[in-house]
A and B are shown apart, each in its own frame.
Chain A
């Protein structure tokens, strides 16, 4: 075991896979010599050469298309999209091609690409360095959508993503790169050395997709969330003193039905929290799963706390962000219902 922050864990996953499988390659804007704008590929080009780790032209469409083509010819590409906010030029290649290739060719062709991309706010990045577009991709059947909330999960899930023979979009909540974020921007930040999930094995291990993690066990209320919000929800739960169970989905597609259903059937109450905008967001899907499977056990209406339905505003970052206050209010409403 070693102490790693989330960036180091992501770097370690990529390095592990570059070592194990000479078909693994990395491409993206600034990922080569420089090691990425967040340094998630630092040192990999020096170690594995430009043949395995290389910079690309600034064309997200080109990056994903080339990665698909390379995968068809035997490679296992990891494509970095510098910010999730810049993934849209690649949308056609993801939604029409990567996601549908296996199906449309009757299983003859498929693509194994992993698309890594930093997402989420909290770094004063304004509307083009803060978005959480996971819900756009969970609606596209044929791709896996993953979002880890800590270094241990990030490495294990990224290795699964690289090893998967299906396309994966791996969202990295950038606010968590250097430490857990509890939703209180005015408090001084802490590192992953303060968190048990900052302990990460140095070698190979993987975490299967479709398995949520229960990060806090509880009896009175189930809170379903993922990414940065896992830690923000923890703060809110402490504020209220409610005995809540927190489920970190980790994998949005495929989704872990059993963990959600068992927990809500046990507690009879459910809150869903995500940073992405609310309307049409992934929270709506979770709500449907709960209402379809747990209706007769529910003791209160299900609630959603999410980003407001607006672009991420630079000056109002913390008014936009669904922080502990909004979550604790929702918890209290549900408990009083």
Chain B
């Protein structure tokens, strides 16, 4: 939230519609000095059965654990085992390098489209580390870190992006619109926010059937404007099902700054307060904070205490997608000035401080991942690319519209000569 949030709000007196503006456009400068970043020690950690009413401050603050020197501090520092942190570091690095690799494949024309999550890796990876594999994920398109942290096969991911013969979505979806049922990862939709209220429904069914799994779901700051976001909060508040509702506030929605989604006058976490939901606002570039907040929400959900809304405050370092050029709408170096740093660097520093990691080990890991990605990509391409080699069998294009193929589709398939 900006300190001088109402700087334009006298607009109405000049016969003008008030239209919020980002801090800077390409010709300007933004070092985020207008942001208030609270100290690590500042946030209380309430008991999991705390009434939402008594923890409203957390929707306006910022839960942090790692300080600027990479030390873990404060009430939300829950003493995570180094093993989990090391795995998290590896998964975040893998996510970043996977993105780089696929971006390159797009540049050379092997895949039609790609979306990176650079700078946002801690959100998906730490969140995944703090829940169980059996818990059901209703993702947005920028949660590849969840798949990688759950150990999804790299070749399978690449084959989806290549729409080739081994693509489990059978060539029907744009690259990155993954689906992984065995990994309890729901099919990604191109239509924003639809998953948010579906996750609530899944969790309602879990409660209704007496299960112990929870659902978790993600939307972006921009997508919180969609009706599905509000339906999700309403149903979650009404039925108290075991669900975690996550907002990745990376400041941008294509060219629209989060102020256009209503982020100027309050926080996204505060959306939960009106519904009576416990709402947390978290440093999204702090692996330990994301982990701790998720753990809190998961424990609460499993104890039958219902849903939690979490906003992760972060920055979209990457362009929106391979179709986007952010230099047309935001200052060129804005990402370098983001005050919450880089999630990988921050966790790395912390682990080095703990003597659990070293620069050498880090460099070796990078080399290992490079080799693994190269090898995986080579294998993936052997199953074909969109342009050359094998594709899924073309007759499959008429399948899965319904469980049993109706006559109109049979006839059309015949007409195609298949």
Given contacts A58-B192, A308-B398, A309-B412, contact A32 B19 (CB under 8 A): yes
- Is A279 in contact with B408, judged by CB distance below 8 angstroms? yes
Of B34-42, B55-63, B115-123, B171-179, the stretch lying at the interface with chain A is B171-179
The 8 Å CB contact of A315, one of B21, B25, B172, is: B172
Residues A316 and B225 in contact, CB atoms below 8 Å apart = no
Taking a contact as CB atoms closer than 8 A, the residue among A33, A50, A279, A313 that contacts B397 in the complex is: A313
Asked if B47 lies at the interface with its beta carbon under 8 angstroms from chain A, I say: no
Interface string of A78-91 (1 = CB under 8 A from B): 00000001101100
The CA-CA distance from A34 to B256 in the complex, in Å, is 8
**B391 near A310 (CB under 8 angstroms)?**
no
Which stretch in A121-129, A174-182, A253-261, A287-295 binds the other chain? A121-129
**A26 vs B283: C-alpha distance in the bound complex, in angstroms?**
36
Also in contact, A124 and B112, with CB within 8 A (given A50-B19, A309-B408) = yes
Report the minimal beta-carbon distance from B44 to chain A, rounded to whole angstroms.
Answer: 32
Within 8 A of A (CB), among B146-172: 163, 167, 170-172
Bound: A37/B326 CA distance, A: 12
Take A89-B227, A315-B163 as given contacts and tell me if A308 and B260 are in contact as well, using a CB distance cutoff of 8 Å.
Answer: no
Query: Which residues on A sit within 8 Å (CB–CB) of B392?
Result: 315
User: Is A314 positioned at the interface, with any CB of B under 8 Å from its CB?
Assistant: yes
A301 lies within 8 A of chain B by Cβ: no
Q: Are A58 and B397 in contact (CB under 8 A)?
A: no
Question: B82: CB under 8 A from chain A?
Answer: no
How distant is the Cα of A129 from the Cα of B253 in the complex, in angstroms? 17
Out of B163, B323, B329, B401, which one reaches A309, CB within 8 Å?
B401
What separation, in Å, do the CA atoms of A278 and B170 have in the docked complex? 22
B412: min CB distance to chain A, Å:
5
A268 to B189, CA, bound (A): 46
Interchain nearest-CB distance for A286 vs B (Å): 18
Contact (A33, B172) CB under 8 Å given A54-B19, A310-B409: no
A61, CB-defined interface residue at 8 Å? yes
* Closest B residue by C-beta to A329: B415
A30/B256 contact (C-beta < 8 A), A55-B19, A309-B412 known: yes
Once the chains bind, are B398 and A315 in contact (CB under 8 Å)? no
Q: Does B304 contact A (CB under 8 A)?
A: no
Residues 299-319 of A, flagged 1 when their CB comes within 8 A of B and 0 if not, give 000000000111101111001
B255 proximal to A (CB < 8 A): yes
Q: How far is the CA of A184 from the CA of B412 in the complex (A)?
A: 21
User: Please, what's the 1-or-0 string for A12-44, where 1 marks a CB less than 8 Å from any CB in chain B?
Assistant: 000000000000000001101110010000000
Are B409 and A308 in contact, with the CB atoms below 8 A? yes
Taking A61-B227, A309-B408 as given, write out 17 further A-B residue pairs in contact, using a Cβ cutoff of 8 Å, ordered by the A residue number.
A33-B25, A34-B256, A50-B17, A55-B256, A57-B262, A58-B192, A58-B253, A60-B226, A61-B226, A86-B191, A86-B192, A124-B113, A126-B172, A126-B190, A313-B172, A315-B163, A315-B392
